[in-house]
Structure 1
Amino acid sequence: MRVSTVDPSRVMWRKSSLSTGGDCVEVAVVPGDPALAAHKAEADELYLVRDSKDPNGPALAFTQSEWDAFVGGVKAGEFD
């Protein structure tokens, strides 16, 4: 789900400390909000991911379990 409107004043975006350039993704954890992702309205919190080169662009929204599955896949080398 693409999130088209995120109020940057209420979101703390983070990126990896290993990031040395501007070409990376940023992640934020926000309270679940049907306005951000209506089909995930039951989520207590959402993990938002955006392109650091386009901070005003869209973000992707993931639930806790979706985020955990992604991080687990990264650690297991599924995307190498």
Structure 2
Amino acid sequence: MTLKPGEWTKFSGGGSNCVEVMRTDDEVLVRNSNRPEEVPQRFTFSEWDFFTRGAKLGVFDL
């Protein structure tokens, strides 16, 4: 899935815990959809790329 610049995209595992992600001109923002008023986590594009590649490979699986 490609993130649309300036638009929050919601991801859910089927429960009530959802994460929203938004791409800006120079970073990726991540927030809890149940608490959108809180400050989002910020990642550079290279940090986000490293994380998503690792997730796809199962690096973070418990």
Same fold (TM over 0.5): yes
2:33 counterpart of 1:15: no
Amino acid across the alignment from 1:13:
W
The gaps in structure 2 that reach 5 residues or longer are: 1-5
- Which protein has the larger Cα radius of gyration, Structure 1 or Structure 2? 1
Q: Return the structure number with greater relative CO, CA threshold 8 A, min gap 6.
A: 1
Greater per-residue strand proportion: 2
- Please say if residues 47 and 62 of structure 1, whose CA atoms lie closer than 8 Å, have aligned partners that are also in contact: yes
Q: Deviations over 1:50-70 (max 9, x none)?
A: 011100101011111000000
2:18 corresponds in structure 1 to 24
**Does the alignment pair 1:56 with 2:50?**
no
Structure 1: which 5+ residue stretches go unaligned?
1-10, 32-44
Q: In structure 2, how many angstroms separate the alpha carbons of the residues matched to 1:22 and 1:47?
A: 22
Identity %: 45
**How far 1:24 moved relative to its partner?**
1.2
* Aligned-partner SS, 1:15: strand
Q: Quick check: 1:22–1:52 contact (8 Å CA) kept in 2?
A: no
Q: CA RMSD in A?
A: 1.2
Residue of structure 1 equivalent to 2:3: none
TM (norm. structure 1) is 0.62
The TM-score normalised by the length of structure 2 is 0.78
